[in-house]
Structure 1
Amino acid sequence: MKTLFYGTLLTALTLLTSTACTASQPPGSPESKAGGGGSRTVRPVAGCGAHSWTDPADPSPTRAPARCDTGAPAPRPLAEPRKLTIATGTLSAEYVAPLQVAVDKGEFKKEGLDVTLKVLPTPDSLPLLAKGDIDALWAAPEAAVMNGIRGGFDIRWVAANFSPDPKSKSGLWVRLKDGESAGQVKMAGRRMGTMIGKGSVIAYPMEKALAEHGGGLDEIQYQQLGSADVLTALQNGGVDSAWLLDPVWRRVDGAPGYAFLGGQPLGEPLGGMLYGPGLLNDDVDAGVALLRAYIRTVNTYFAGDYKADATFVTYLAKLLKTDEAILRSTPSLRMDWEIRTGTTDRLQAAYKAQGVAEGDPLPESRTVDRALYEEAVGHTP
């Protein structure tokens, strides 16, 4: 099955044709390397000053995420409207909320973008992204993505999504066996429910949690489940551990027989927006416009503790089609469009430990492109 998937992916890659898109640039102007290595003019952006960028090499869990003023960066409508499709594994998870709000509040339309959000798992999305049938992927640099890049797929992680609040218990949960307590769990041999299965970005934080509880990435069994089925399987005994996202973990928090073992590192996003050759090379203007709308949505609606606004939480619960009381009971995510240095290195090390990485690790230059979001906020490295 794995061989068939990557064969399909590589076949799709041969269908791609791309031409580098570069913008004219006056001598001495700041440059962005967005667009297949070409250079583009980067101009200062009103409302996006010194706080709109943080050093990617700063891994501090207390680092304040980058922010512009409310409503910034302002829209710069494209000369010709574009229709774009973004694939995502779910529309109900809280980390998808900025995209849902951007569509609902017309932030994409202000840029001349008609955006459709389409539910598709990452493995199904990759060949479609390669063929241009979808334009972007709201997911993460999973093992399948890394292996696709290694096989010739021109794809980059171009913007992040969030990191958890310190009070969050989004992460690895386990059903306790008789005689076990949270501090005395043996994970070796357990069956774990996950949306992605082996090769998910959660392998990186899970590796640490497992090591602290008598297990390893190669010592547990993985069961891939739909987003709505992970919690159900944990509760009915179909699996005995699971990775639960905000706000789903609240349904077992405090319930007898469950324990939280660890979650995502603070201050380090592990997913977000992935672009293929279309928005990376062929239509960089649209690629920057899409990120500009996303960043503006974060600054306008998700800049701080957005759940302190009761009216907004009611609106968000309806938009995500989730239980308002559960949504309200979890801390706000720390929405963050920036990507930390070395994250894809750490992810690939975890994939190798799981036995799902193919070949040598990819350098960050092949997996990450920060130039588009830097251009959107007017930052020049």
Structure 2
Amino acid sequence: MRTRTTVLGLLTAGSLLASAGCAQQDDTPSGTAKPRTVKEVAGCTSGWTDPADLAADRKPARCDKGAPAPQPLAKKKKLTIVSGTLSAEYVAPLVVAAEKGEFAKENLDVELKVLPTPDAVPLLAQGDIDAQWAAPEVAVMNGINGGFDIRWVAGNFSPDPASKSGMWVRLKDGESADHVPMAGRTMGTMIGKGSVIAYPMNTTLKKHGGGLDKIQFQQLGSADVLTAMKNGGVDSAWLLDPVWRKVDGDPKYAFLGGQPLGEPLGGLLFGPKLLNDDVDAGVALLRAYIRTVNTYFAGDYKKDEAFLDELSRLLKTDKAVLKSTPSLRMDWEIRGGTIDRLQKAYRDAGVSKGDPIPESRSVNRSLYEEAVGHKK
């Protein structure tokens, strides 16, 4: 793989404040100040869906294999993308794009680095990194509220309907999965209230008489979440792939709900460099990402044993572990209203700051629309 994996250093408080001070603070969709010509893209006639379509069975947008075709930049551009991990399955399109030379086809020299979201946000805002593979978590939204010029520009995935990654509860005597009173119970999770998972957590809890404000959270390490629920240390747990497989089918536990079907909750975030200073490079990056999805992740990619072997090697993950859960539904589009639903969950959890941020200051779909040739 051409891409190098490193860990960035922490940003000082001084540079954080400097970054906020020079950021934009308006409601103009960043990166769209200058009109851009959008041309039809061969092989992408089905490369766009209406953001207002929130149907759980919505088919994600797809172009033909190998589309959109590369449009190499006139001059090679070096870009840095950071992610909290490079071994999780949802990061696979970036890792595969690097391995298969999809970035290079656009004349991009992309370096992938590992850095947690809170540390990366100010670096992205001040232009020290070009893009972030993450989600509009509370750290991102609070940063935008503070003046950071950051936009969510592309989605990542939604779960397969067969997936049971999400909220599990240990049933008490006489309880059934149809209705489990969650108010007052404890939940173990490795993900804090400021994560995008707060949104599906809140939705699921409210279906069972709870809510983020009506349960007790206990943040645990990834290896301790399931153990705590089994031992009675917590009543419920948010179990990720493939951990939920260990309780699936056990009548003592019930799956209550997970991430909404058909609705990505994360993906690529751009800062001012790709939103404003070099939009061509931003579109090229998205073109390479989208082409990778269409070429390697268009359907049930885990049915391809050879590709699964390759994924296992690239992600440094056991093949059996990858195979134990359904393929993710890779999806570069952003649904309408997702950013509002996320912010409501943050407010319910008591972790957000300032007024709600409109889509115009937090989401920019124009770059992926240009990459697939969608004209408004």
1:206-221 equivalences under 5 Å are: 206-221=201-216
Structure 2 residue 142 is matched with structure 1 residue 147: yes
Separation in structure 1 between the aligned mates of residue 14 and residue 176 of structure 2, nearest angstrom: 46
Distance verdict in 2 for CA 1:253–1:107, change over 3 Å? same
Q: Is the 8 A contact 2:20 2:148 kept in 1?
A: no
Distance verdict in 2 for CA 1:284–1:194, change over 3 Å? farther
64-73 or 254-263, which moves further after superposition? 254-263
246-255 or 310-319, which moves further after superposition? 246-255
From 7, 13, 21, give the equivalent of 2:19.
13
Q: Is the 8 A contact 1:144 1:199 kept in 2?
A: yes
User: How many pairs does the alignment contain?
Assistant: 362
From 250, 273, 280, give the equivalent of 2:245.
250
Question: Residue 76 of structure 1: CA displacement?
Answer: 1.4
From 15, 32, 47, give the equivalent of 2:43.
47
Residue of structure 2 equivalent to 1:28: none
Q: Is the 8 A contact 1:93 1:246 kept in 2?
A: no
Separation in structure 1 between the aligned mates of residue 82 and residue 88 of structure 2, nearest angstrom: 14
**Amino acid paired to 1:371:** S
Superposition RMSD in Å: 2.6
TM-score, structure 2 as length reference? 0.87
Question: Residue 285 of structure 1: CA displacement?
Answer: 1.3
Gaps of 5+ in 2: 1-10
Residue of structure 1 equivalent to 2:288: 293
Deviations 1:246-282 (A, max 9, x none): 3342233234643311011111111111111111111
Question: Residue 148 of structure 1: CA displacement?
Answer: 1.0
Structure 2 residue 266 is matched with structure 1 residue 271: yes
Question: Residue 93 of structure 1: CA displacement?
Answer: 1.9
Deviations 1:307-339 (A, max 9, x none): 121221222122222232232122211111111
Q: Is the 8 A contact 1:47 1:72 kept in 2?
A: yes
Separation in structure 1 between the aligned mates of residue 103 and residue 365 of structure 2, nearest angstrom: 20
From 343, 358, 366, give the equivalent of 1:363.
358
Gaps of 5+ in 1: 19-32
Specify the SS of the correspondent of 1:274.
Answer: strand
Q: Is the 8 A contact 2:126 2:271 kept in 1?
A: no
Separation in structure 1 between the aligned mates of residue 314 and residue 231 of structure 2, nearest angstrom: 28
Q: Is the 8 A contact 1:78 1:286 kept in 2?
A: yes
Q: Is the 8 A contact 1:172 1:260 kept in 2?
A: yes
**Amino acid paired to 1:39:** P
Question: Residue 153 of structure 1: CA displacement?
Answer: 0.7
Q: Is the 8 A contact 1:279 1:287 kept in 2?
A: yes
Specify the SS of the correspondent of 2:269.
Answer: strand
Distance verdict in 2 for CA 1:233–1:323, change over 3 Å? farther
313-322 or 252-261, which moves further after superposition? 252-261
Question: Residue 210 of structure 1: CA displacement?
Answer: 0.9
Separation in structure 2 between the aligned mates of residue 306 and residue 204 of structure 1, nearest angstrom: 28
Distance verdict in 2 for CA 1:252–1:153, change over 3 Å? same
Specify the SS of the correspondent of 1:37.
Answer: coil
Separation in structure 1 between the aligned mates of residue 14 and residue 236 of structure 2, nearest angstrom: 32
Separation in structure 1 between the aligned mates of residue 212 and residue 12 of structure 2, nearest angstrom: 23
Separation in structure 1 between the aligned mates of residue 283 and residue 266 of structure 2, nearest angstrom: 18
Question: Residue 82 of structure 1: CA displacement?
Answer: 2.1
Question: Residue 304 of structure 1: CA displacement?
Answer: 1.0
**Amino acid paired to 1:172:** M
